[in-house]
Structure 1
Amino acid sequence: MYDVLVIGGGVTGCSIARELSRYRLKTAVAEREEDVCSGTSKANSGIVHAGFDAEPGSQKARMNVRGNRMMPQLARELDFAFRQNGSLVLCFDRKQLGQLQALKEKGEANGVEGLKLLNGEEARALEPKLSGAVEGALYAPTGGIVCPFGLTIAMAENAAVNGVEFLFETEVLEIRRIDAGYLVRTNTGEIEARAVVNAAGVYADALNNMVSERKYHITARRGQYCLLDKKAGTAADRTIFQMPTAMGKGVLVTPTVHGNLMLGPTAEDIPDKEDISTTSEGLETLQSKAALSVPDLPRNMTITSFAGLRAHEDGDDFILGEAEDAPGFFNALGIESPGLTSAPAIGEYLAGMVAEKLGAEKKEDFAGQRKGILNPQELTVEERNTLIRSNPAYGSIVCRCEMVTEGEIVDAIRRPVGARSLDGVKRRTRAGMGRCQAGFCTPRTIEILQRELGEPDLAVRKNRAGSELLTGKDKEELKEAGR
């Protein structure tokens, strides 16, 4: 029996797990996919929101501002990519400038520091490529950008080093109360736990509704994005928003921590919680809206498009804490934007509640530091040559677009909560994220995965079961094998 079972291996679940690993608790994370960061957390804008648009007093406001303040120190402790680049909210109509003032006042009520109103000329002085139609802007210097994969994986690795067990390809089918806590039936067997933390993204409502009479309803809100090549990355240095609406913060233009430029998201409520398809209409809409902010965006530099789902709860706020009629069952439900920013704060908040409920003490030997995958490009020429002499795998380039070496891929596989699929390698090293979108590096990455995992090459997958990359051997290979 576990003390705590966290359901969901996204950024929220991994943040909770990392904070729980500070305590003397036997903790596990159940994730239905083959890796962490495989759902909502893998498909978002990577924005660290300042916290100016959530309603004062809401959980979104509290967790956003706290998470924003935690991010710089967390990035130093866990060694993931983060940059406090600041953000702008644009207004194109003089008659709506009062809405920027109201947004500033809301942010100040939430505790956001440094907010400043700019006129159009001042905004263009910060971002020269902004539209001439911009009449004013709200500047938030505490806004930032982060690698969502890096943040989630760093949390998971640190949790694992501190004793948390990760149960992959484990889908929860049923939860019911027992004397000792909860019995969780999964596709791989039954799990007993004294406490359960529900961080299941778009399916968190279904899990809550299995054990509580307080029913929740989550709508999947699809957001489509375009990612542009690094050559387009200089179009904006700060994250550029438009005035928010009831459906969200609108289409943004933002650099990424890796130097690309991202546009998006759209906001479409859809009935299918598995539908992450993109549409020509959606992509055209987001590109047209993004061009209102930055007119001369190089659309021809788009290297990929993708969609993610946000877990929008009908009450439009995060649902955090113990269910009133289900003792020991804790919800992290309705975690949509600014969920990525809020994740560290949610982890801190819920782990504290769970530890108090179970009477857990903090460990004296908690290891709070983690070192990420070594990137040879960040070394001097002399340091790189020394590295290659000691380990020649760092001299073998696998992904030419992102200059990822065999040594980095091997490290990604061998680490705690290591990569087990092509997407797992991609999220940890960026192999396949460049201009050719894995057209060159896939065969070599498959070979490395097969060798390191000790599996037949036909078993190597893109991600979940059923996504095997190879379906058979060619005639010449079979002939050489004597078959």
Structure 2
Amino acid sequence: MPAVSPALPGTFDVVVIGAGVIGCAIARRFALEGARVAVIEKADDILDGASKANSAILHTGFDAPVGSLEQVCVAAGYAEYEEIHAKLNLPLIRCGALVIAWTEAEAALLPELIAQAEANGVADVEPLTEAETRRLEPGLGAGLQAAFRVPREYLVDPWSAPLAYLAQAIANGAELLRGAEVTGGQLDGDWTLQTTRGPVTGRIVVNAAGLYGDVLDERLLGKKDFAIRPRKGQFIVYDKPAASLASHILLPVPNKVTKGIVVCRTAFGNLLVGPTAEEQDDRETAALVPETLEALRRRGEEILPGLKAEEVTALYAGLRPATETKDYRITAHSAQRMITVGGIRSTGLSSALGTARHVLRLAEAMGHATQPPVDPVWPEVPAISAFARRDWQQPGNGGIVCHCESVTRREILAALDGPLKAQTLAGLKRRTRVTMGRCQGFYCSAELARLTEGRLAQPMLGHD
């Protein structure tokens, strides 16, 4: 039989499977250490799995299990994001969070949570009485008992961050293969991974497949150490005027299953309420449930009664790759030269950079060694945060196409070009915010269809 042409030529030092926030951060870390890196993603665009829907909070890890791998990775990821965000042109909205007790039982748990935060190195939390809390957030609803403030919980852009991580990896030599599902592989000195677009060869494989992490372990190792139990989270997004109702991230007292329902502004000037925490078997579909969304809306209005007068802009849902235990499931399979990064739940955005450093250490223990570049490239991603100077404020932008989110023609065309160009409408949305505003694309979709014609792997509907 004739040989099958490789999907990517040559042998890579590291092959990362999965282009969510964790895979993008891992690819960046190895590229910055001088490794030849390949990233394989089964979807037509990056961030198409668990990473496409989250609360967009940079967590300190104050409530992580003390001494857990999650806590270590969150703390390290938080510190590195603070260090590098400006160089990559990423936003950081320093608003702080309030952990609010709404019942006497929850209030009784606050001292224990404060002690946990201090044990996790978050020593600047501030206990607050009911009156002190209301002075900080006068719009809070009835029933408030007490709270504490976590000053260093911040808001970030959930999509520009992983985009920047992968853009930096590619700028420093990494290669990306999209639309390629890994169907199997053989280890014979090096790995030969079989994908739907041809084989890819690498010395070390990193499984960052998120919702399919256990499936991929079975395909490559013939076994799995954990089982993914998808947990759906539904969100409500309010129109931009609602953002004036709260200046802090409003957190509930967490329980053993979930961090609970959050109310907070977004980096894009909206206000969101969510997520829910619903167990399901389906790994692909995160269906919106009207009854659940109505209950979520009622809870949001109990927390911030002013929301009753505000309009909802969007509803969305996502899946988190939870497992049967709460901690991260990161395992080095040294004999097989493979590292599995599984069970990265709701803190993945915060921990990604720290998780990447942990994975690098595991690879070095397997004998991985490369020489970091002397002068690594630091690309900047476009600013799409409401807290940044936007392209519509710059000359020569071609005019605004999406007026709800102030997205220019130049921004759209730039996102459709280059090594990380958008391949789907969803990918274009995450890069620019186009169609994600109040009208949800009603006014700009026809022009957007013209601009994207022939450029997307999944074309928009006709625009005649």
- How far the C-alpha of 1:130 sits from its partner, in A, is 1.0
CA contact (8 A) 1:420 1:449 kept: no
2:179 pairs with 1:188: no
2:405 pairs with 1:402: yes
- Matched residues in 1 for 2:43 and 2:276: separation? 25
Identity, in percent, stands at: 32
State the secondary structure of the residue aligned to 2:67: coil
Report the counterpart of residue 470 of structure 1 in structure 2.
461
- Matched residues in 2 for 1:341 and 1:374: separation? 19
2:214 pairs with 1:175: no
Report the counterpart of residue 277 of structure 1 in structure 2.
287
Report the counterpart of residue 446 of structure 2 in structure 1.
443
In the TM superposition, what whole-angstrom CA distance separates every residue of 1:407-431 from its partner, at most 9, and x where no partner exists? 1112222244122232222111111
Report the counterpart of residue 415 of structure 2 in structure 1.
412
CA contact (8 A) 2:416 2:422 kept: yes
- Matched residues in 1 for 2:384 and 2:290: separation? 36
Report the counterpart of residue 316 of structure 1 in structure 2.
326
- How far the C-alpha of 1:356 sits from its partner, in A, is 4.8
Report the counterpart of residue 335 of structure 1 in structure 2.
344
Q: Which runs of 5+ in 2 are unaligned?
A: 1-10
- How far the C-alpha of 1:95 sits from its partner, in A, is 4.1
In the TM superposition, what whole-angstrom CA distance separates every residue of 1:443-479 from its partner, at most 9, and x where no partner exists? 22222223xxxx3xxxx55xxx6x43236x86xxxxx
C-alpha change, 1:96 and 1:422, in structure 2 (3 Å) is: closer
- How far the C-alpha of 1:84 sits from its partner, in A, is 2.2
CA contact (8 A) 1:223 1:266 kept: yes
- Matched residues in 2 for 1:311 and 1:166: separation? 23
Structure 1 segments (4+ residues) deviating >4 Å: 374-381
Report the counterpart of residue 215 of structure 1 in structure 2.
225
- How far the C-alpha of 1:366 sits from its partner, in A, is 4.5
2:198 maps to a residue whose letter is G
- Matched residues in 2 for 1:115 and 1:311: separation? 29
1:330 maps to a residue whose letter is I
Report the counterpart of residue 58 of structure 2 in structure 1.
48
TM alignment of 1:114-125, pairs within 5 A: 114-125=124-135
1:188 maps to a residue whose letter is R
TM score, norm. by length of structure 2: 0.92
CA contact (8 A) 1:172 1:184 kept: yes
2:137 pairs with 1:127: yes
2:110 pairs with 1:107: no
CA contact (8 A) 1:90 1:293 kept: no
- Matched residues in 2 for 1:427 and 1:305: separation? 15
- How far the C-alpha of 1:313 sits from its partner, in A, is 1.3
C-alpha change, 1:84 and 1:192, in structure 2 (3 Å) is: same
TM alignment of 1:60-209, pairs within 5 A: 60-176=70-186, 178-209=187-218
Moved more, 363-372 or 435-444: 363-372
Report the counterpart of residue 371 of structure 1 in structure 2.
380
- Matched residues in 2 for 1:271 and 1:345: separation? 29
TM score, norm. by length of structure 1: 0.88
Between the two structures, name the one with larger relative contact order (CA 8 Å, sep ≥ 6). 2
Report the counterpart of residue 260 of structure 1 in structure 2.
270
2:426 pairs with 1:423: yes
State the secondary structure of the residue aligned to 1:77: coil
- How far the C-alpha of 1:374 sits from its partner, in A, is 5.7
- Matched residues in 2 for 1:375 and 1:34: separation? 22
State the secondary structure of the residue aligned to 2:404: coil
- Matched residues in 2 for 1:48 and 1:376: separation? 15
CA contact (8 A) 1:9 1:29 kept: yes
TM alignment of 1:357-396, pairs within 5 A: 357-373=366-382, 388=395, 391=396, 394-396=397-399
CA RMSD of aligned residues (A): 2.2
- How far the C-alpha of 1:438 sits from its partner, in A, is 1.2
- How far the C-alpha of 1:397 sits from its partner, in A, is 1.2
In the TM superposition, what whole-angstrom CA distance separates every residue of 1:170-192 from its partner, at most 9, and x where no partner exists? 1111233x222322211112222
Q: Which runs of 5+ in 1 are unaligned?
A: 475-483
State the secondary structure of the residue aligned to 2:305: coil
In the TM superposition, what whole-angstrom CA distance separates every residue of 1:72-105 from its partner, at most 9, and x where no partner exists? 2221121112212111111122343230110111
Moved more, 114-123 or 371-380: 371-380
CA contact (8 A) 1:312 1:336 kept: yes
- Matched residues in 2 for 1:379 and 1:247: separation? 39
Moved more, 179-188 or 261-270: 179-188
C-alpha change, 1:74 and 1:263, in structure 2 (3 Å) is: same
Report the counterpart of residue 478 of structure 1 in structure 2.
none
C-alpha change, 1:443 and 1:366, in structure 2 (3 Å) is: farther
CA contact (8 A) 1:228 1:261 kept: yes
In the TM superposition, what whole-angstrom CA distance separates every residue of 1:284-306 from its partner, at most 9, and x where no partner exists? 12112223322221465111101
CA contact (8 A) 1:202 1:218 kept: yes
- Matched residues in 1 for 2:265 and 2:86: separation? 21
State the secondary structure of the residue aligned to 1:166: strand
